[in-house]
Amino acid sequence: MDFEQDNTRIEPPQPSEPVSYPPQGTPPADKPPKKRTGWKIFWGIVTALSILANVVLFIMLVGVVMMFFAAGQKDIFTEEVIQPGQRTTKIAVIKLQGVIDDEQSQEVYRQLKRARKDQHVKGLIIRVDSPGGTISASDQIHNEILKYRRQTDKPVVAFMQGVAASGGYYTSVACEKIIAEPTVITGSIGVMGGYFVLQELLEDKLGIQPVIVKSGLKKDWPTPFQPPTDEQRQYLQDKLINPAYERFIQLVADGRPSLALADVRNLADGSIYGAQEALDEKLIDEIGYLDDAIETLSLMAGIEEPHVVEYRRPFSLANLLSSRGEAIKLDRAALYEFTTPRVLYLWNGY
């Protein structure tokens, strides 16, 4: 039996590519996360602010260090411009304000020293607003002003504001001219002194009996442990009050050529004077304001467009902290100052 031959070739099955199956328990692959641009911006801002804050803190640290450094430099002053002008023709204003003591004296000395070194300074205005103070400090300032005038041959004008009495007037007569505001109180040419008598407090109230051993009768005069006798009062008058009083009168006569010594003595009973009365009595030269003082000094110095500056002490954090940290201490030195008589060029009505 014949069979029809089939020529169709049957291809063997091709091996299929192996299929990999994930192992059991393996989660399906996550889709790629979306870009979170919001968080990137947020952290960028935080980083920038952090850098900026560190820069600011560094600058503040440098500033604090500089302020502490400035506190230790006694001769550092800034110049506050009162009236702009030619910087080569400068007028310096030195402020004398408050009760005159040793610290005030040193401050004026340093300002005068600064002005002496500045070749552009052509004259000074001493701006006085003070009821006076201690004899020694007032005399030191008076002497330093005269020394500046002698050494530089530059004009110096006193400008009185508010109260310029006793030691305030004492320092003003060292200047060539005196200009006072219309409302000023000046004069009070004289000396005062006083101390506390503690005998009743110690003996009657506290039961404390002081014991004094001395080499001579007058060694402890005046004493706070008993009221003064007439002899002791006269002793203090002769030894303390009169010499300081005579010096005050003499320096006023020297500083005010229009007044004779006898004229000054008639005015030197401790009286205060208003501006007009002081002008009538020739204790001052002119009534006016700071602009008038600047104009007068400019004429004296021969300058037309003065650059007027006032010396100021720069802000000091160290001084601020130290002033707040001061406390009253009652020790032997404080008790000595409390009970020792102080002779003053001071108007007591301040």
**Which residues are designated catalytic?**
166, 219
Query: How many C-beta atoms lie closer than 10 Å to residue 315's C-beta?
Result: 11
Q: How far is it, in rounded angstroms, from Cα 295 to Cα 298? A: 5
Name the 3-class secondary structure at 29: coil
Angle at 348 between CA 342 and CA 350, to 5 degrees: 125
* H-helix segments, the chain: 37-72, 102-117, 135-152, 167-172, 199, 230-236, 242-255, 261-267, 275-280, 290-301, 317-324, 332-339
Q: How far is it, in rounded angstroms, from Cα 69 to Cα 40? A: 44
Q: How far is it, in rounded angstroms, from Cα 198 to Cα 195? A: 10
Backbone angles phi, psi at 58, to 5 degrees: -65, -45
CB 132 within 8 A of CB 347: yes
CB 272 within 8 A of CB 188: yes
Angle at 146 between CA 141 and CA 148, to 5 degrees: 95
CA distances from 285 to 124, 149, 181 (A): 17, 19, 11
